[in-house]
Structure 1
Amino acid sequence: MILLYYTQRLKDLREDNDWTQGQVANYLDLKREQYRRYETGINEIKVSFLIKICKLYNVSADYILGFTNTKKELPKK
């Protein structure tokens, strides 16, 4: 189930960077509660959210969504 992958990946990426939910929420211009709902799977992620989170952690959407276990960096422009 993809939902389980992305919720755990969001939490793992945040914790790997030693960030709080509040810090990530601020970066994404969300309230902490809104971000928490994404991380726990209460709210499904939107494409605009996915793009921002990929940029924040410099990983592919495939990794966040659980299609791959390889953390590939985003291509340089």
Structure 2
Amino acid sequence: MTYKRLRDLREDHDLSQAELAKFLNVSQRTYSYYETGGRDIPIQILIKLADYYNTSIDYLVNRTNSK
């Protein structure tokens, strides 16, 4: 699931939700919703996350297992 990947990537990089939210210019609560599936993730945020983690959007949205 996309949401688990977001959490796993964040934790693998030793980041808090607040730190990543600041980088993405969203509130910590909004980022938390992204990780739990409570809110759809805008494409602009997916692009930033893919660039930050040096991975593909396809990986983030669970269309592939290849980073």
**Interval containing the TM-score (normalised by the shorter chain):** over 0.9
Q: Aligned equivalents of 1:70 and 1:16: distance in 2?
A: 16
Runs of 4+ residues over 4 Å off in structure 1: none
Matched to 1:6, the amino acid is T
Identity percentage of aligned residues: 42
Number of aligned positions between the proteins: 67
Equivalence map 1:7-22=2 (5 Å): 7-22=3-18
The DSSP-based 3-state class of the residue aligned with 2:8 is helix
**Aligned-residue RMSD, C-alpha:** 0.7
| Deviations 1:35-77 (CA, angstroms, capped at 9, x unpaired) | 0010110001111111111111110001011111111xxxxxx
Structure 2: tracts of 5 or more residues without a match? none
Instruction: Extract unaligned runs of 5+ from structure 1.
Output: 72-77
State how far apart, in whole Å, the 2-side matches of 1:55 and 1:43 are: 21
Aligned partner of 2:20 among 18, 21, 24? 24
Name the structure 1 match of 2:56: 60
Q: TM-score, normalised by structure 1?
A: 0.83
Q: How far, CA to CA, are the matches of 1:56 and 1:21 in structure 2? A: 14
Name the larger-Rg structure: 1
Is residue 2:11 matched to residue 1:50?
A: no
